[in-house]
Amino acid sequence: MTSPLEHRLSQYLALTFAERDALRWLERRERQYAAGEVVVREGEPLDLIFIVASGWLHGSVQLKNGGRQILRFYFVGDITTTFSIAWGSSAATLTAVSACTLFEMPRDALGRLFRDHPRLGALLYAVSASENVAMADRLTSIGRTDGMTRIATLLLDVRSRLRIADGLDDGMFELPLTQQDLGDAVGLTKTHVNRGLKALTETGLIERDGRVIRITDFEALSALVDFRDRHGHVAIDWLPPVGGKGDIDHSGPRVSEHM
């Protein structure tokens, strides 16, 4: 069975047996969290990195006025808490949006992956860079556009990222977020979120049925709000060749002795 991170990265690159084994080896220690449970709080010491096996999470920071800014959402196959690598303490609060399962791994395991499998390390860096650009796009939207555009940009980004995880091309997905969550992600009050969602549905480009969202025309909505899909393609022509430890013998699965 394909592991979540293996599945995510294989969308961009044909992985070797050794690379697949190395990714699966990271996913050994599993822990479950209930919806609304905090995994780690902003400022807490942290030497773990989490891979999402199921469910949704978000990373947020506390504002001086008591409010909250949700920086990004995490889905199956995402690596979370990489925002803590530079300091050893969490730069944001990681919260389960829905019931979820996470794989826990120590930070140094990621370092060993970069050392023993440099092609994987380079690909993870490229994926992280694309996600940072997508977050910058969304923050630009928050600062310069109206409520409807902000919400549409977020929904398009969510569907684009979920497409990597579920492989589905349709525009339908379940959105387990409250209006407060949406507001904290796009910088709007609940009242303005409600107005923005109503305006979006009036365009006919999205439909809502409870928590289910359907984007009826992805390209038309993208053009309307100037959304660019940063997740569907990642350039791999610059990646280093296969040649890290454990990458030479392709005859069958084996795990690097250093993982």
pLDDT digits (tens, 9 = 90+) for 123-169: 999 999 999 999 899 888 888 899 999 999 999 999 999 988 777 77
User: What local confidence, expressed as pLDDT, does residue 165 receive?
Assistant: 79
pLDDT digits (tens, 9 = 90+) for 66-116: 899 999 999 999 999 887 888 889 999 999 999 999 999 998 999 999 999
Residue 172: other Cβ atoms inside 10 A: 14
Q: Is the pLDDT of residue 255 over 90?
A: no
Output the pLDDT for position 247: 53
Tell me: pLDDT of 258 over 50: no
- pTM here is 0.89
In the chain, where the domains are located:
1-107, 131-238
In this prediction, residue 242 has a pLDDT band, given cuts at 50, 70 and 90, of confident
Note the pLDDT tens digit of each residue in 183-230: 999 999 999 999 999 999 999 999 999 999 999 999 999 999 999 999
Treating both helix axes as pointing N-terminal to C-terminal, what angle do 107-116 and 17-26 enclose, rounded to 10 degrees? 170
118-144 and 179-186 helices cross at what angle (nearest 10)? 90
Mean pLDDT over the full length of the chain:
90
Is 20:254 a contact under the CB 8 Å cutoff?
no
The second-level CATH assignment, the architecture, of 1-107 is Sandwich (2.60)
Name residues whose C-beta falls within 8 Å of residue 54's C-beta, 6 or more positions apart in sequence: 76, 99, 100, 101
Instruction: Compute the distance between CA of residue 162 and CA of residue 153 in angstroms, rounded to an integer.
Output: 14
* pLDDT reported for residue 259: 38
DSSP 241: P
For residues 54-59, average pLDDT = 96
Whole-number pLDDT of residue 244: 55
In this prediction, residue 243 has a pLDDT band, given cuts at 50, 70 and 90, of low
Residue 84: what pLDDT?
80
- Does the pLDDT at position 63 exceed 70? yes
The pLDDT value given to residue 256: 38
Mean pLDDT, to the nearest integer, of 228-241? 93
- pLDDT (0 to 100) of residue 5: 94
Fold of 131-238: Arc Repressor Mutant, subunit A (1.10.10)
Q: Which tens digits make up the pLDDT trace of 30-44?
A: 999 999 999 999 999
